[in-house]
Amino acid sequence: MVGIITLWQLYSLADYTELSRLLDLGATLQQQPWAVPFIIMLYVAAGIAFLPLTVMVVATILVYGPIGGFTLATAGTSATAIVGFGIGYLLGAEPLRRLAGSTLNRLNNKASQHGMMVVTALRIMPVAHFHAISLIAGVSKIRFGPYFAGTLLGTIPGIAAIAAVGNQAKQFLLDPNPIGLAVLAVLGALSLVALYCLRRWLRRYTE
């Protein structure tokens, strides 16, 4: 925890929560042959430093387009989830039990039967930071297979929605027209409705 706070202070990590800064960084990296593995490593580093991954996902999609950006953002978030789970597993239950408290106990009670759905719900409903969930899952009784499947189920719909809306928003800004605005409004509304229904169903399921 001290190391994370020190990183934030020394390297002004708050600057990298701004979309404009990430877009400039992404445009610079895009020209490099090693850009893809480096960006995935940036996702992992951002997770460890508790930076918001959603802003990185938006920047990745705007720089690489809807398909390439979706693929790269999914790979980055998946790598972050794997590393976070591994760190939690290596740390063990005791250090994180003091931080997670009753949350870890509730996870363990449901892990054997509903591990995948529990992780899916935690990924979709904004209850904690992405990396915090990964750490807690790593020390819980949830096995890696259900954890990773739940992570994909919980993150891919959001990334797909950002890819669809973000790409259309970019096209509209480059060429404003009534049809583009209507398509953007429809995509935005459909994405919000779909995520709302998914969250509502998961909330009812978890109860």
In this predicted model, what pLDDT tens digit does every residue of 60-76 receive, in sequence order?
888 888 888 899 999 99
User: Among 92-106, 133-147, 168-182, which range has the highest average pLDDT?
Assistant: 133-147
Q: Quick check: 45 pLDDT over 90?
A: no
Would you call 33 helix, strand, or coil by DSSP? coil
89 φ/ψ angles, rounded to the nearest 5 degrees? -60, -40
Q: Quick check: 203 pLDDT over 90?
A: no
Question: Which has more pLDDT, 77 or 1?
Answer: 77
pTM of the model: 0.72
Alpha helices (H) in 102-177, listed in sequence order: 102-124, 130-139, 144-174
The pLDDT value recorded for residue 199 is 72
CB atoms within 10 A of CB 24: 13
Question: Which has more pLDDT, 171 or 117?
Answer: 117
Q: Quick check: 26 pLDDT over 60?
A: yes
Question: Which has more pLDDT, 46 or 100?
Answer: 46
